[in-house]
Amino acid sequence: MIPISISDELHEICPNIHLGCIETDVVVQKENDLLWKQINQACEKLEQTLKSEEISKLSAIADSRKAYKALGKDPARYRLSAEALLRRVVKGKGLYKINNVVDLLNLVSITTGYSIGGYDVDKVQERLTFGIGRENEPYEGIGRGTLNIHRLPTFRDALGACGTPTSDSVRTSVQDSMTRFLMVIVSFEGKEGLEKTMEVAIELLEKMASAQNMESKIVWYE
């Protein structure tokens, strides 16, 4: 697995960060009917049982919003990806159709409340470090264009910023040609819940993306 760590500066402000990391070979498909049956069922259940005003109070999302505020970033303006997806689902808009790998990642996110990064391993240079975004640091978010990541929790590789819990980056994004995939589940308040979420993600990767040669671990500050 590609080396992944948490920076000193981020740990000082958010000391309970844990990252659930899964790296695996996958087969990317434009659409998977069995997966979308499961996604539609999950969306229908959430639409019927969850109210918009309750989303920010869900444990994983509430912890993440608290971390954003501690870093000086407005979580309402720079909405976490999990929260944005859930708000879309509750409004009856469902999830976007991208490909089976991204779609299953989004399914895990809406059913757990964790914001999850998805990376093409071949596009990540050398290692990943989870730190804090710098002023005027270049970043192009998927579907967001140029994003101000100053003070956002930010993943970097040897080339610079390449992921945030608000939006994955275009540079390391999952495309149909990808063969090796990295999923990073971000928890700002410890590992409770991460192991179960990883089990769910691993099962989906195996069933819906023919995952093989898999490695997984929980990363924290040491």
Q: Read off the pTM.
A: 0.96
CA-only gyration radius of the chain, Å: 16
Instruction: Provide the domain limits for residue 107.
Output: 4-220
Dihedral pair phi/psi, residue 101, rounded to 5°: -70, -50
Band (149; pLDDT cuts 50, 70, 90): very high
Element (H, E) at 213: strand 212-220
pLDDT at residue 60 above 90? Answer: yes
pLDDT at residue 162 above 90? Answer: yes
Residue 89: what pLDDT? 97
Which is nearest to 185 in space by CA: 39, 82, 89?
82
Q: The domain spanning residue 13 has which CATH number?
A: 3.50.40.10
* Cα gap 66→14, rounded to integer Å: 9
* Cα gap 106→163, rounded to integer Å: 16
* Cα gap 147→136, rounded to integer Å: 10
Average pLDDT over residues 90-106: 96
Neighbours of 90 (CB within 10 A): 20
Number of domains, the chain: 1
pLDDT at residue 134 above 90? Answer: yes
Cβ-defined contacts of 146-150 (< 8 Å, 24+):
148/78
Residue 102: what pLDDT? 97
Average pLDDT over residues 91-97: 95
